[in-house]
Amino acid sequence: MAIVTQLAIIAVGVMALAMLLRRLGRRVGRRSDSPFEAALAPGKESMPVFDEFESIRRTVDGARYSAFDVHFMLRPLLRELAASRLRVERGIELDGQPGPASNVLGSEAFALLREGRPAPLNYRRPAMSVQEIEGIVKVLESI
């Protein structure tokens, strides 16, 4: 009976050691023997630029179909961009100097980006066309 107990303890120890080695192997990573094997290994790198682009694309797509997405998703993104470009390129504060900001942005862009713009009453109505979004982005690019 003592031998069976000792064998069970050894078996549990071996299994624990195997699990520990497997975890350690995942953390350390496997060394490839050649550049060819390294090229065949699946990549785990994330592409943050692509992820950010995809996020912006989804935001623009949503803004085409929902006033909610325009107000709460696209507008903050464009406001941040406008505020930064106005401050750096023209020395104008978007919220602090609404007159000069409106002159630079134009009435359509400023109406969307101004501070205190009320949220739409009907969130489900279509809000902006691609051409409207493109027009505002062009204005921001021209600053």
90-100 pLDDT per residue, tens: 999 999 999 99
Query: What would the pLDDT profile of 24-54 be if each residue is shown by its tens digit?
Result: 777 666 565 667 766 666 665 555 667 788 8
Q: How far is CA 115 from the centre of its chain?
A: 24
Q: Which DSSP letter does residue 95 get?
A: T
Q: What is the DSSP string of 22-61?
A: HHHHHHH-PPPSSHHHHHHSPP----HHHHHHHHHHHHHH
Please tell me whether the overall predicted TM-score, pTM, comes out greater than 0.95 for this model: no
Q: Which long-range contacts (CB under 8 A, 24 or more apart) does 7-14 make?
A: none
